[in-house]
Amino acid sequence: FTLRGSDSLILASYLYWLSYRSLKVDKIVLVNSFLEDGDDNISKMDLSKLVSLSFNHGNGVKQKEITLFQRLLSYAMPVSDPYMKLFVRCGGLKHIDFGSEAHSSFGKIGMFCSKLQSIKAVHCKGLNDSAIENIAQHCRSNITSVVLRACDDLTSASAIAIAENCPNLTHIELSYATTFRQRCLIQLASSCPKLTFINFEGLCNISDKVIATVAANCKQLTFFNIDFYKGFSNGLDPVALKLIAESCVNIIDLVAPEFHYKVRQGKAQLQLKGAYTRLPKIRNILLNSPEQMTSLQASGCVYMNDDCIALIAPRYGSHLTTLLLAECEDITDAALAQIAQHCPMLEHIDLSGCPVTDIGVSNLVRFCRHILTLSLRKCYNLSKVAFLNVARHLFELEKLTLSHTSVCDSILHELGANCPLLRELELTDCKQVTKAGVQHIIATLPNITCTNFWSNYLHVSSV
């Protein structure tokens, strides 16, 4: 149950009802909840079944106010520390969230709650190594999940204690802290082979050696995040990251400073994240990406150019189904020629804002006949020739974006006649498209959604 606020009468009444009904409470979450002196109904509660406890202190708590935890069981135990009274009676506790502020008694919790399986602390002030070491030493193999996010008072000693005592650990998060050194991260990866989730986001001591250790020992890994603080670069070698993708066959998410490699429904996808990632780094990432990659998302990547496409098209072309290159101003007809030659199974391509011409687009659609979604938004160099080839070659087309182009009504007629599967057509700010042209394609393809804001006309038909 969850108790909120400082209305002691309501809280006391509720606690009395719980104890009267002899309910077995298995989870307690308190948010700024207080009891006045004398409200001892909580001492009657049966906490033998309690498995989850969350300390949520919230904001603006006054020192003079007595929290519920400070009153909890204050009459039943001969121990003076109210937190200790709580822990003594919660021997079956399995999950604990320390909240935003630690108490000195947290350093002894492992002595009484040896069945703990997961611990969580986010921005927890005052949480020190002794508390984590105590839990690790007493709970040992029971611990499977540890989340220590932005806890600045912790050091490498905490991570080493976890590594030495918790061999069954499957989930570890040590993100956004400046005190965890490379040695403790390597020891974690070496000592906890059952890890499936590792989040080292924001740590400044990630190196190729750490990654190689993870790849060699954590074969069951599904999530690995080593993203770094914005504005910094740790110069990671993509070759080391390739080891993760190849060694950890179950990997689903691999997040690095310049890219995000992910696997969805058995398909590998690569997203280049840094808009200003330099060309040598881009080339290195592309060359060391897993060969089964089916999707490349590079929209907004300033330095992506024709040479990069020439690298990946022959290498990944037989698997590549998605290619997103929006706002890549150095992508020209030469890149489209490589795609047309090597990527026959392409299904989704975004060329928005690219300086491609009629020749490049016409060549693309002649050879990549299975395209389902195509975006030519703001491709100002295209004319009727390119649009006609799109309509006359992409019979499987489902979504087409032609916003801010010179498309006209005659092209809409061609699309209606040749693309029976077309469901979405975006025509925002297409000055040569009239209401009559839009009405014609709607009549031909009644299930289409067609948008044209330039003529202030919007149609959404029922599917």
- Degrees (nearest 5) of the Cα angle 159, 161, 165? 120
| Fold assignment, 260-462 | 3.80.10
Mean pLDDT of 424-449: 91
Q: Which amino acid is at 228?
A: F
Report how far apart, in Å, the C-alpha atoms of 176 and of each of 122, 231, 330 are: 10, 14, 36
Give me Rg for the CA atoms of the chain. Answer: 30
The 3 state secondary structure assigned to 154-165 is CCHHHHHHHHHH
What are 60's two structure tokens? Answer: 């603006």
Question: β-strands 27-31, 449-452: how paired?
Answer: unpaired
Query: Please, are residues 406 and 385 in contact by the beta-carbon 8 Å criterion?
Result: no
Look up residue 24 and give its DSSP letter: B
CA distances (Å), origin 127, targets 37, 71, 139: 28, 22, 18
Is 112 in contact with 135 (CB distance < 8 Å)?
no
CA-based diameter of the chain, in Å? Answer: 89
Distance CA 295, CA 134 (A): 46
Q: Give the model confidence (pLDDT) of 249-274 as tens digits.
A: 899 998 888 888 888 877 889 888 76
Rounded CA separation 455/195 (Å): 57
- Tell me which of 38-42, 78-82, 233-237 is least confident: 38-42
Reported confidence tier of residue 244, pLDDT bands at 50, 70, 90: confident
Model pLDDT for residues 292-337, shown as the tens digit of each residue: 789 999 999 988 999 999 999 998 888 899 999 999 999 999 999 9
Distance CA 132, CA 420 (A): 63
- 293: its two tokens: 């990659």
Residue 25 has pLDDT above 70, yes or no: no
What's residue 443's pLDDT?
93
Entry pTM? 0.76
Structure tokens at 160: 């080493």
Helix axes 238-247, 208-217, angle to 10 degrees: 10
Whether residue 128 contacts residue 107, with contact meaning beta carbons closer than 8 Å, is answered with: yes
* Element housing 133 (H / E): helix 129-139
pLDDT at 211 over 50: yes
Residue 41: band (very low, low, confident or very high) from pLDDT cuts 50, 70, 90: very low
CA 156 to centroid of chain Cα atoms: 26
- For 235, left (φ over 0), alpha (ψ -120 to 50), or beta? left
Alpha-carbon distance 244 to 274, whole Å? 21
State pLDDT tens for residues 142-172: 999 999 999 989 999 999 999 999 999 999 9
Examine the pLDDT at 196 and tell me if it is beyond 50. Answer: yes
Residue 374 to residue 394: CA distance in whole angstroms: 10
CA–CA gap between residue 434 and residue 164 (Å, rounded): 72
Residues 6+ apart with CB under 8 A from 414: 387, 388, 391, 392
Rounded Cα distance, 261 and 95, in Å: 31
pLDDT 10s digits, 106-139: 778 888 888 899 999 988 888 899 999 999 999 9
Residues near 59 by beta carbon (within 8 Å), at least 6 away in sequence: none
Residue 390 pLDDT > 50, yes or no? yes
